[in-house]
Amino acid sequence: MRERQIPWWERGVIYQIYPRSFQDSNDDGIGDLAGIEARLDYVAALGVDAIWLSPIYPSPMADFGYDVADYCDIDPIFGDLEAFDRLIAAVHARGLKLLLDFVPNHTSDRHPWFIESRSSRDNPKRDWYIWRDPAPGGGVPNNWISDFGGSSWEWDEATGQYYLHAFLKEQPDLNWRNPEVRAAMSDVLHFWLGRGVDGFRIDVLWHIVKHQAFPDNPLNPDWTPDVTERDRLLQHFSTDQPEAHEISAEMRALAEDYGERLLVGEIFLPAERHARWYGTPERPQVHLPFNFHLIESPWDAAHLRAVIEDYEASLPGFGWPNWVIGSHDAPRIAARIGEAQARVAAMLLLTLRGTPTLYEGDELGIGHVTIPPERMRDPQHFRQPSLNIGRDRSRTPMPWDASPHAGFSTCEPWLPLNDDWPTRNVAAQERDPGSMLNFYRHLLALRRAHPALSVGSFTMEKAEGDVLSYVRQHEGERLRVLLNLGPEPVQPLTRQAESVRDVLASTLQARPYDGTLLPDEGLILSLAPEA
Ligand code: GLC
């Protein structure tokens, strides 16, 4: 039997760049493509393998680019297609890959397709979106709630029907049951794949098809008013429909025609339904259904152990895992669990079995950021202000150095910098051997040097209080990862026969292993081969 070639993304690490906040090159306080290009040496030196760019397409920016007005161009804020071509060439010249964000569920309400669709009931593009008559007694067609709160239905006075929007009313949902929509969106994928992109992160993939009869969604019995209004209902009929899996398989087949291209699908579902997005070996779907379980899990060893084991157990035999601890949608990991545990989280992310995705700025340990009310921008915040779920605080600009505006821009950035930017910035952390940045670089270098950490087998030890303990093994190399998630020193029960050769990394200061784990300490130990 021919040995399976390991594709780049199974060994690789993905780095998410939020383009508005990486580097400004034209003095408008907003990051852009030329800025990203200028910072590529930093990305390469970090030791990651691929960059995923959040959307860069023309957009009115109601949801900061997740409202696309033209899928095949670049917003002037970010540059133009020439700047994109230069960027992708520069990315490839450094041996890196480039993933774009594909936003198939909805367009902007300013997309020419929607402008046509809403122009009259008999417009040829009417059925490209989801239009419905009012309910028999009047009012919205069903009880569906937008992910940002409020009804999913928006009344269109001119044509006397409602249209569906799973997010903002400025983001009308496309009708993926219409073959013309599918063909148009396939053309979009061909456009970018032909331009050389190495794959896509696919936005809210599990949303793209709705139940044909549009029944009410059931009430969620566990909902309480302190969480988002979206969760009042279980999204049984508005998401995760069988036809969406079929489309995901079609996208995979299309990407496959271009060789080793990667599809990462944004999927928020419980483990077992999540795993169905891998498809089958005969009819594969996305390579990596994005796995948000670490973001959603309480930060303690018992929960994390269960999450990791359940996820591993849910994977189909051919399915490659992936992990993520931060994104432009989630609170900063260091804000959530503190800096000491953020180092433990970094070690966890980069030593679990599966492709890690690292979010820009987490490698600096950016934590809580104060956003004064007058500078808040996130539409999710404005729709439910009392919930404190605004995403601006994880979208603040990269602090590069201690010069004015942290070297991000020559003028005031679109969002404030992290409060501690004069000391927490790339240049300062490069000088400090103990910094979060140098810790990430060390972990990423180790991962590259020790295939056991990327493609090795994974064995979780049984429960041990606040400690997570697992072994990664590959071709005779055995590494043990010990993570103390608690505030007390502990003596983990490493097996008697196990002799530790070396400490490859510590979240604290490097030291010989003496059988003890300090509070907040994580270690990667190299073990002697098993007798
Ligand atoms: C995804 C994006 C998020 C966006 C939403 C609507 O969840 O990550 O930022 O608001 O989709 O497109």
Spatial neighbors of 466 by CB under 8 A, at least 6 apart, are 300, 301, 484, 485, 486, 488, 490
Predicted confidence at residue 1, as pLDDT, reads 53
Give yes or no: 266 in active site. yes
Identify whether the C-beta of residue 288 lies closer than 8 Å to the C-beta of residue 355: yes
Distance between Cα 101 and ligand 1 center (Å):
10
Distance between Cα 295 and ligand 1 center (Å):
16
User: What three-state secondary structure class fits 161?
Assistant: strand
Give yes or no: 477 in active site. no
Q: What is the pLDDT of residues 28-54, one digit of tens each?
A: 999 999 999 999 999 999 999 999 999
Residue 392 near ligand 1, beta carbon < 6 Å: no
* 8 CB-contact burial (10 Å; exposed 0-12 / middle 13-18 / buried 19+): middle
Query: What is the residue with the minimal CA distance to atom 4 of ligand 1?
Result: 66
Q: What is the pLDDT of residues 122-178, one digit of tens each?
A: 999 999 999 999 999 999 999 999 999 999 999 999 999 999 999 999 999 999 999
Task: Map tokens 């018992």 to a residue.
Answer: 302
Predicted confidence at residue 2, as pLDDT, reads 60
Parallel, antiparallel or unpaired: strands 322-324 and 355-359? parallel
The catalytically annotated residue of 75, 154, 198, 203 is 203
Distance between Cα 410 and ligand 1 center (Å):
29
Spatial neighbors of 107 by CB under 8 A, at least 6 apart, are 67, 68, 69, 113, 114, 171, 172, 174
Low-confidence ranges of the chain (pLDDT < 70): 1-3, 494-497, 531
Query: What is the residue with the minimal CA distance to atom 2 of ligand 1?
Result: 203
Spatial neighbors of 352 by CB under 8 A, at least 6 apart, are 308, 321, 323, 458
Residue 116 near ligand 1, beta carbon < 6 Å: no
Q: What is the pLDDT of residues 415-473, one digit of tens each?
A: 999 999 999 999 999 999 999 999 999 999 999 999 999 999 999 998 789 999 999 99
Query: What is the residue with the minimal CA distance to atom 12 of ligand 1?
Result: 66
Parallel, antiparallel or unpaired: strands 262-265 and 199-202? parallel
Predicted confidence at residue 464, as pLDDT, reads 82
User: What three-state secondary structure class fits 50?
Assistant: strand
Kindly tell me the sign of the dihedral angle through the C-alpha atoms of 377, 378, 380, 381: negative
Q: Looking at ligand 1, which atom is closest to the CA of residue 67?
A: 12
Distance between Cα 63 and ligand 1 center (Å):
8
Residue 203 near ligand 1, beta carbon < 6 Å: yes
